Structure 1
Amino acid sequence: MKDPAAPTVELIDCSNEAKLLSERACSAIRQDILSCVIEPAATLTESALTARYGIGKATCRVALQRLAQEGFVRIVPRQGYVVTPITLKDVEEVFALRLELEPLSARLAAGKADIDLLNRLERACRNDDTSLGIGSRIGIFMDANAAFHMAIAECSGNGRLVRMLGGLLNDMARLVSLGFGVQNTKPEIRHDHTAMISALASGDGKRAEQIAHRHVATFRDMTMEKVMASLRDTHAGAPIVPLRGAR
């Protein structure tokens, strides 16, 4: 019979613990890649990562394999891992899809959006605490901006559109971090969000669609310019060849 005063011994499932550790390591490395703390085209080694993140070799290896599956790194035989470069083609592809999806999202959401929520998110986009570093300020902007656009998409009533746009906005994070972060400046979107909110509140789907298209096109041109400058400055990516229609 067990002594009720005896201490309880917890049995730890080592396989679950190992999985949790690798997921945490993967999340930490992924976030540093997305924010360009780890630059595009950087070479990664297990020894450097284990020291940087305080993890074991097995945990590091599992995390890197997961990041390779997700497309964040590439495995280079006998050399290690290389962070997937950013190219101007990445910028073009992301914005080509946003130009199709976001005007549709805005039109479908007209008259159905949570206007109070959008106003709060728009104010968060404009918040610029100069006591923070540029990387943190860009991160705050990107989180609020993504939440703003996703809030509109979620009112569209189209679940597939929501999922696709969510993926594109995640892809945007690394583009913006490279373009604006390296150039030491924060994206500025002052008028399009308020105009969008007004159109959505009035139920004017056509106007909301037009504003969304203009907004994405403007941000595309800003991002393309900054990414081109950053690729030249850091040489982090493929050879720079301006794409047709880029400014």
Structure 2
Amino acid sequence: MAVADMAQPPEFSPTGAAMSDAALKGRQAYDLLRREIVSCRIMPGARVTEPELMERFGLGKASLRIALQRLVQDGLVSSMPRHGYRVAPVTVRDVDEVFALRAVLEPLAARLAAGRVNRALLERLERICRGEMPGDVGDQIDFFMEANRSFHMAIAAASGNDRLCRTLSGLLDEMTRLVALGFGVQRVRPNIENDHAVLIEHLVAGDADAAEIVARRHVETFHAMTMEKVLASMRHAALSPAPPTATLGA
């Protein structure tokens, strides 16, 4: 019997109670739509309606509405009464703000994680980030986004600071959307050179000062790369960006 055919354990809510069928379907619909938005398969600024989403993704009305309510709460979509929903646009300011916070928090995470990381895990994720995976550019970008997030979250987890970990998790979710918009739309895989490999060596050696410096340099370099690609995507969308308030999807 295939794994997919095997009986799965019941899903549970945060309180530990088994989720109702409606709640489970709502969460599944939310997870699906959130992935589509974060990966920019549903583009920033896009207007969507319930009938369109139901047909495109095979969702029921009740589960879709649960999902949309959560996406509104997340700030990923906004309700347009009698006109459906609008996916949140992306602005130049979004890029600057996300990376400004990363530039503060990730060097701190690297300093705290020095001497405490799982080398094998980080090296495996780093190989994926460098594109050592099969498939076309689009697939490689998807692999990169997932592996890059996991790489930085593994360092945050090793820091031992739960609040730092939670904060970075949210920032990296936002960054995933920026990377998808910039690099995915341009069909170019991010090139992070040897930053991750050098960072791993300092983390494993327990050199907190060097790890902090490399982590900050990496964030600053990737900030510039991402901004360049996001602006290119804005131009591709026939917009005329003018930092810091330029918006894709306005």
TM-score, reference length from structure 2: 0.86
Q: Which moved more, 1:152-161 or 1:95-104?
A: 152-161
Give SS of 1:155's match: helix
Residue 114 of structure 2, aligned match among 110, 113, 130: 110
Query: Deviation at 1:144?
Result: 1.1
Q: Is the 8 A contact 1:129 1:137 kept in 2?
A: yes
Q: Which moved more, 1:21-30 or 1:97-106?
A: 21-30
Residue 175 of structure 2, aligned match among 161, 164, 172: 172
Partner Cα distance (2:115, 2:66) in 1: 47
Aligned to 2:45: 41
Cα-to-partner distance string for 1:165-197 (whole Å, 9 max, x where unaligned): 111111111100000011110111121111111
Aligned to 1:30: 34
Query: Deviation at 1:52?
Result: 0.8
What is the correspondence of 1:89-238 to structure 2 with a 5 Å cutoff? 89-129=93-133, 131-132=135-136, 134-234=137-237
Q: Is the 8 A contact 1:135 1:177 kept in 2?
A: no
Give SS of 1:81's match: strand
Partner Cα distance (1:48, 1:243) in 2: 33
Partner Cα distance (2:128, 2:176) in 1: 17
**Residues 1:161 and 1:235: Cα distance change in structure 2 (over 3 Å):** farther
Opposite residue 191 of structure 2, the aligned amino acid is E
Q: Is the 8 A contact 1:103 1:209 kept in 2?
A: yes
What is the correspondence of 1:2-81 to structure 2 with a 5 Å cutoff? 16-81=20-85
What are structure 1's unaligned runs of at least 5 residues?
A: 1-14
Query: Deviation at 1:128?
Result: 4.0
How many residues are aligned here?
227
Q: Which moved more, 1:149-158 or 1:37-46?
A: 149-158
Cα-to-partner distance string for 1:6-54 (whole Å, 9 max, x where unaligned): xxxxxxxxx9222222211111111111111111100010111111111
Partner Cα distance (1:122, 1:18) in 2: 39
Give SS of 1:99's match: helix
Q: Is the 8 A contact 1:46 1:57 kept in 2?
A: yes
Name which one, 1 or 2, has greater alpha-carbon Rg.
1
Partner Cα distance (1:50, 1:111) in 2: 49
- RMSD across aligned C-alpha pairs, in angstroms? 1.8
Cα-to-partner distance string for 1:83-119 (whole Å, 9 max, x where unaligned): 0001111111110000000111111111222222222
Partner Cα distance (2:154, 2:67) in 1: 31
